[in-house]
Chains A and B, each alone.
Chain A
Amino acid sequence: MQIKFDQVSADYQLGPIRAKNIIDDVSLQIAPATFTAVIGQTGAGKTSLLKLINGILRPTSGSIQVGEFTLDHSANKATLNQVRSRVGMVFQFPENQLFAETVEADIAFGPKNFNFSAEEVDQSVYRSLERVGLDQSLLKRSPFSLSGGQQRRVALAGVLATKPDILVLDEPGAGLDARGKQEIFALIKKLNQQDRVTVLVVTHDMNDVAIYADHVLLLDQGKVITYQETRAFFSDQDQLTEWNLELPDTLHLQRQIEQRTGINFKQTSLTRTELIDQLIEEKLL
Chain B
Amino acid sequence: MKQHPILSIKDVSYRYDLRHEDYALSQISLDVKRGEWLTVLGENGSGKSTLARLIVGLAEPEFGTITFNDQTVTQANKSTFWEKVGIVFQNPDNQFIGTTVQDDVAFSLENLNLSYHEMKQRVTNALHQVGMYKLREKDPSQLSGGQKQRVAIAGVLALEPELMIFDEAFIMLDPQSRTRLLKELKLIQKNLGLTIISITHDHNETVFADRLLLLASGQIIDQGDPRTVFTRNRYVQPPFAEQFRRELVQRGISVPDNYMSNDELVEWLCK
Contact = CB atoms under 8 A, between A and B. Distances in A.
Interface of A: 12, 14, 40-43, 46-47, 92-93, 95-96, 145-150, 153, 170-171, 174-181, 204-206, 244, 246, 249-250, 253, 256-257, 260-261, 272-273, 275-276, 279, 284-285
B240 interface: yes
Contacts of B177: 41-42
22 contacts: A40-B174, A41-B146, A42-B145, A42-B172, A43-B147, A93-B92, A145-B16, A146-B45, A149-B43, A150-B45, A178-B201, A178-B203, A179-B237, A204-B174, A246-B175, A249-B244, A253-B241, A253-B265, A260-B266, A272-B243, A272-B244, A285-B248
A176 B44 contact: yes
**Chain B interface extent, by class:** 35 or more
A284 B145 CA distance: 43
Nearest to A22: B144
A146 B201 CA distance: 17
Interface in B161-210: 167-168, 171-179, 201, 203-204
Nearest to B44: A149
Nearest to A179: B43
Contact of A253 (B16, B147, B178, B244): B244
A256 B91 CA distance: 36
Nearest to B201: A177
A147 B269 contact: no
Interface string B42-78: 1111100100000000000000000000000000000
Nearest to B177: A42
Contacts of A43: 135, 143-144, 146-147
Contact of B90 (A46, A47, A148): A148
Contacts of B16: 145
Contacts of A204: 172-175, 178
Looking at chain A's contact residues, the main secondary structure is helix
A41 B180 CA distance: 14
B43 A170 contact: no
Contacts of B144: 42-43, 46-47
B150 interface: yes
Interface string B127-163: 0000100010000001111110010000000000000
Interface centre among B142, B167, B172, B262 (most CB of A within 10 A): B172
Given A93-B145, A147-B45, A178-B237, A257 B269 contact: yes
Contacts of B204: 249
Contacts of A14: 142
In the A-B complex, the 4 residue pairs with the closest CB atoms: A149-B44, A42-B146, A178-B237, A249-B240
B168 A148 contact: yes
Given A41-B174, A148-B91, A180 B43 contact: yes
